[in-house]
């Protein structure tokens, strides 16, 4: 059996890198008894029948996460094929998590082509999230790692050329790869024809004939048929061949091409309604490469909704999806805002970029759909084009709009009017000046990252780096290297020294989110770091001093994890010197409407505040918000998108159906939850009442810590009297707190009566 496996695995790996065949076809020709060949075929079957997903996932991940290290390369290839298929089927979260694991298993790999395949997969994944810029960088790395002249090299180069063509930027590709493109033309002539046609469609460079489309269809692989329909539809729209488009696409349902079709017919409202219906039905805003995918922005602009258009454009550009035609959209936005001077700047940029990419016909097409631009404004733009070509404009395009968001620093980030938020701001101001580590707890989506950033910005470290790390998103094998760094040669694949985030943070703040998810081995190392303020990079025997502040966060019940034995008790006490508990949004309803209005107005360029109907406000207040602030923001973003940044929102605009009534908590309810964000005076009074209840060591230590936080300096006798526990017991507790570096003992004189304890 081992011999059969080795033969099958070699056949799959060598076939993938050294032939033009698909990996599924290669696997089908292998021995049916081989588990990896069967898994590859299952992935192929799933891509054609979505009902096979759960079965395929179990079969594939059993092999990927298995302990058999002898099948290393075939496991790598299977993992990449599975990630690519997950992305193609829009299972982006699963693909992202699996890619983190894939990166770790590639450390032991020496095959250059496999490393190249990893870059190709990474680029495909990031592009699916809208980051076209990152995919271009990944193609650069992939091509560098390929053996020049191999079939996989040409396969990668062909994919790269096609991607540039989909962006309408074949000019960039030819400048970068001019020498090796000649090899591609000789070996993969069909690829040259396909990408040239795609680029001509995207730049509107020439009229695409029926013969062109027929040849394109013949040359595309069966797996690329989805691309053919998009290209054919785009070609008909650009050529104004609406009858041919109607034969290809039913116009009853809305999508990106249908919306563009109605714009060409000057049915502006219909175009906007259809694209909104499509986004609402699919639940997402697509941003693939391609002319038709700017349809939502065009539809908003032509209906005069410049705020909505800007928000859509901002999402695309921020994700790394800038296109040279976007500067023309910004020019249209400025014209709608009656700002012709700024419009000229953006129009000049668009004009120069379109000239550079041989896409002047694309600019003409965009202008033809700009019904909201008056002839006199178009004349003004054309007569004032800047002679100076500014190629950095696309990077700076949105910065002047972001001033409001950038100004929200420190406790200003915390939006709300509840007693909890008022107290939270005070707690942040108080804790920010302390050197001690802090633990932030609360449900998913409450804003633990916002509180961590606020703590950093209110501290003297605000000029230093703030580095957030999500411990749950990084596999255990990678986490140690990520946190502590590694030396060159520390493990196979560690070809150079790498600085970890503890060292990179310097004197700044390191935010370790999802700390409850780290393994026992990482817990042990982290405890040693907290005790010694030193790290040891993987593969090094020399400790390094660290000077950063550490903020931890988790939504996991750490006390329960301690009781279950999955989280170290000593580490728990270390990280819980100071704790901030963020209560759920459903328990602070006073914050809901301030948050809603903040999310509705942020980054609006007209500075206007939208209004909500009474019925909508009541629905927002009565919903239980299980996803907390994150869910609220997502819902408001959806409302803004589907209502074109309207200034009036009604009850029907709120799509969530679960209108679960919430219990409005009283201040006492909050106090019973041991919440530290209650108003400080109220909390101090209630604390003394609560402190006399409960005799466990854990609760007693928590109450003593609370006393020190509020009073800074205390004697043993004072603590004993307040908590009503013997002085001897308090002495033992104080020794524990000193061992945790929570307090220090001050001895003004030799007399023990003068001794007291101070918060460190």
DSSP string, 415-468: ---SHHHHHHHHHHHHHHT--S-EEEE--TTS-HHHHHHHHHHHSTTTTS-EEE
pLDDT in the model for residue 315: 85
- pLDDT digit string (tens) for 399-442? 444 444 445 789 999 999 999 999 999 999 999 989 899 999 99
CA-CA distance, 659 to 597, in Å (whole number)?
A: 20
Average pLDDT value for residue range 216-244: 86
CA-CA distance, 478 to 105, in Å (whole number)?
A: 9
pLDDT in the model for residue 287: 67
pLDDT in the model for residue 187: 74
Average pLDDT value for residue range 651-667: 55
Work out the angle at residue 362's Cα, subtended by the Cα atoms of residues 390 and 331, and round it to the nearest 5 degrees. 50
Residue with the larger pLDDT of the pair 667 and 369: 369
DSSP H helix total and E strand total for the chain: 40, 14
pLDDT in the model for residue 165: 95
Q: Is 122 within 8 Å of 96 (Cβ atoms)?
A: no
Residue with the larger pLDDT of the pair 445 and 226: 445
Lowest mean pLDDT among 294-308, 363-377, 704-718: 704-718
Residue with the larger pLDDT of the pair 95 and 490: 95
Lowest mean pLDDT among 436-450, 514-528, 707-721: 707-721
Average pLDDT value for residue range 144-162: 90
Is residue 491 scored above 70 in pLDDT? no
Q: Is 302 within 8 Å of 212 (Cβ atoms)?
A: no
Is residue 273 scored above 50 in pLDDT? yes
Average pLDDT value for residue range 360-375: 93
- Token pair 């985030």 is found at 501
Structural domains in the chain, sorted by start: 2-222 (1.25.40), 250-401 (1.25.40), 433-581 (3.40.50.300), 588-653 (1.10.8.60), 692-759 (1.10.10.10)
Is residue 285 scored above 80 in pLDDT? no
Is residue 203 scored above 90 in pLDDT? yes
CA-CA distance, 33 to 99, in Å (whole number)?
A: 28
Indicate the average pLDDT of the chain: 83
CA-CA distance, 82 to 85, in Å (whole number)?
A: 5
CA-CA distance, 245 to 202, in Å (whole number)?
A: 17
Q: Is 577 within 8 Å of 436 (Cβ atoms)?
A: yes
Question: pLDDT tier at 278 (50, 70, 90 boundaries)?
Answer: confident
pLDDT in the model for residue 182: 80
Question: pLDDT tier at 719 (50, 70, 90 boundaries)?
Answer: confident
**Which of 740, 744, 738 lies closest to 760, judged by CA?**
744
CA-CA distance, 389 to 323, in Å (whole number)?
A: 16
- pLDDT digit string (tens) for 4-15? 457 889 999 999
Q: Which regions of 539-656 does DSSP assign to beta strands (E)?
A: 544-545, 549-554, 578-581, 611-612, 648-649
Residues of the chain above pLDDT 90, percent: 42
CA-CA distance, 460 to 433, in Å (whole number)?
A: 7
Per-residue three-class SS string for 525-553: HHHHHHHHCEECCECCCCCEECCCEEEEE
DSSP string, 230-293: HHHHHHHHHTT-HHHHHHHS-TTS--HHHHHHHHHTT-HHHHHHHHHHHHHHHTS----SSGGG
pLDDT in the model for residue 164: 96
- For the ranges 141-145, 164-168, 382-386, the maximum mean pLDDT occurs at 164-168
**Which of 330, 347, 333 lies closest to 303, judged by CA?**
333
Average pLDDT value for residue range 207-220: 88
CA-CA distance, 328 to 254, in Å (whole number)?
A: 25
Is residue 467 scored above 80 in pLDDT? yes
The number of angstroms, rounded, from the C-alpha of 674 to the middle of its chain's C-alpha atoms is: 33
pLDDT in the model for residue 391: 43
- pLDDT digit string (tens) for 494-517? 445 678 888 889 999 999 999 998
Residue with the larger pLDDT of the pair 126 and 728: 126
Question: pLDDT tier at 52 (50, 70, 90 boundaries)?
Answer: confident
Identify the burial level of 124 via C-beta atoms within 10 angstroms of its C-beta, where 0-12 means exposed, 13-18 middle and 19 or more buried.
Answer: buried
Is residue 392 scored above 80 in pLDDT? no
Is residue 265 scored above 50 in pLDDT? yes
The tokens for 317 are: 């550009």
Lowest mean pLDDT among 284-293, 332-341, 501-510: 284-293
Mark 301-326 as b/e (b = at least 16 C-beta within 10 Å).
Answer: bbbebbbbbbbbbeebbebbbbbbbb
The number of angstroms, rounded, from the C-alpha of 93 to the middle of its chain's C-alpha atoms is: 10
Average pLDDT value for residue range 734-757: 81
> Across-strand partners of 745?
757
């Amino acid at each position: 059996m081992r011999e059969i496996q080795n033969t099958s695995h070699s056949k799959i790996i060598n076939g993938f890198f050294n032939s033009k065949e698909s990996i599924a076809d290669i696997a089908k020709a292998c021995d049916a008894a081989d588990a990896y060949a069967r898994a590859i075929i299952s992935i192929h079957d799933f891509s054609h029948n979505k009902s096979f997903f759960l079965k395929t996932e179990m079969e594939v991940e059993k092999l990927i996460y298995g302990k058999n290290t002898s099948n290393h390369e075939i496991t790598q290839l299977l993992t990449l094929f599975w990630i690519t298929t997950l992305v193609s089927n829009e299972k982006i979260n699963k693909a992202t998590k699996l890619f983190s694991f894939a990166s770790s298993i590639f450390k032991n790999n020496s095959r250059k082509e496999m490393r190249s395949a990893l870059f190709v997969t990474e680029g495909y994944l990031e592009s699916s999230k809208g980051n076209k810029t990152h995919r271009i960088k990944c193609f650069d790395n992939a091509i560098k790692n390929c053996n020049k002249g191999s079939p996989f090299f040409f396969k990668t180069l062909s994919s790269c050329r096609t991607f540039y063509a989909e962006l309408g930027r074949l000019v960039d590709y030819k400048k970068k790869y001019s020498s090796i493109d000649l090899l591609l033309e000789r070996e993969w002539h069909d690829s040259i024809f396909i990408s040239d046609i795609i680029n001509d469609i995207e730049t509107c460079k020439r009229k695409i004939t029926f013969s062109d489309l027929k040849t394109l269809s013949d040359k595309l692989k069966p797996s690329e048929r989805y691309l053919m329909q998009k290209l054919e539809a785009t070609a008909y729209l650009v050529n104004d061949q609406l009858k041919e488009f109607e034969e290809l696409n039913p116009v009853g349902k809305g999508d990106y091409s249908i919306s563009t079709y109605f714009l060409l017919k000057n049915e502006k409202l219909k175009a906007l309604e259809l694209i909104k219906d499509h986004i609402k039905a699919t639940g997402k805003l697509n941003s693939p490469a391609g002319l038709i995918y700017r349809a939502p922005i065009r539809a908003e602009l032509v209906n005069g909704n410049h705020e909505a258009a800007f928000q859509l454009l901002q999402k695309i550009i921020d994700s790394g999806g800038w296109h040279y035609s976007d500067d023309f959209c910004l020019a249209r936005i400025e014209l709608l805002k009656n700002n012709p001077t700024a419009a000229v700047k953006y129009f000049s940029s668009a004009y120069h970029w379109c000239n550079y990419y041989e896409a002047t016909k694309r600019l003409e097409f965009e202008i033809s759909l700009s019904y909201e631009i008056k002839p006199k404004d178009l004349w003004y733009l054309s007569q004032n084009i800047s002679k100076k070509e500014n190629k950095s404009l696309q990077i700076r395009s949105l910065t002047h709009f972001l001033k409001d968001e950038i100004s929200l620093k420190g406790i200003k980030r915390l939006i709300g009017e509840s007693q909890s938020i008022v107290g939270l701001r005070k707690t942040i101001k108080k804790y920010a000046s302390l050197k001690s580590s802090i633990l932030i707890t609360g449900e998913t989506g409450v804003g633990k990252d916002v509180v961590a950033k606020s703590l950093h910005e209110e501290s003297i470290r605000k000029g230093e780096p703030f580095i957030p790390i999500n411990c749950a998103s990084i596999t255990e094998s990678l986490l140690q290297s990520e946190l502590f760094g590694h030396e060159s040669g520390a493990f196979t694949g560690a070809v150079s020294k790498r600085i970890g985030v503890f060292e990179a943070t310097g004197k700044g703040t390191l935010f370790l989110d999802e700390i409850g998810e780290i393994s026992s081995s990482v817990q042990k190392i982290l405890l040693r770091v907290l005790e010694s303020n030193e790290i040891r990079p993987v593969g090094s025997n020399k400790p390094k001093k660290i000077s950063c502040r550490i903020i931890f966060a988790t939504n996991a019940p750490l006390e329960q994890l301690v009781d279950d034995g999955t989280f170290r008790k000593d580490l728990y006490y270390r990280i819980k010197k100071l704790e901030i508990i963020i209560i759920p949004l459903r328990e602070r309803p006073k914050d809901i409407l301030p948050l809603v209005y903040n999310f509705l107005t942020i980054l609006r360029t007209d500075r206007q505040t939208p209004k909500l109907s009474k019925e909508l406000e009541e629905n927002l207040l009565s919903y239980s918000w299980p996803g907390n602030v994150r869910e609220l923001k997502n819902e408001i973003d959806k409302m803004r998108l589907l209502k074109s940044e309207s200034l009036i929102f009604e009850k029907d605009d709120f799509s969530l159906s679960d209108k679960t009534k919430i219990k409005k908590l009283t201040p006492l309810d909050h106090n019973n939850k041991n919440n530290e964000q209650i108003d400080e005076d109220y909390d101090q009074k209630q604390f003394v009442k609560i402190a006399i209840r409960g005799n466990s060591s854990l609760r007693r230590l928590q109450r003593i810590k609370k006393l020190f936080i509020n009073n800074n300096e205390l004697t043993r006798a004072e603590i004993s009297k307040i908590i009503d526990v013997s002085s001897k017991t308090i002495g033992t507790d104080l020794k524990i707190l000193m061992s945790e570096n929570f307090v220090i003992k001050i001895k003004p004189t030799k007399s023990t009566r003068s001794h007291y304890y101070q918060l460190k």
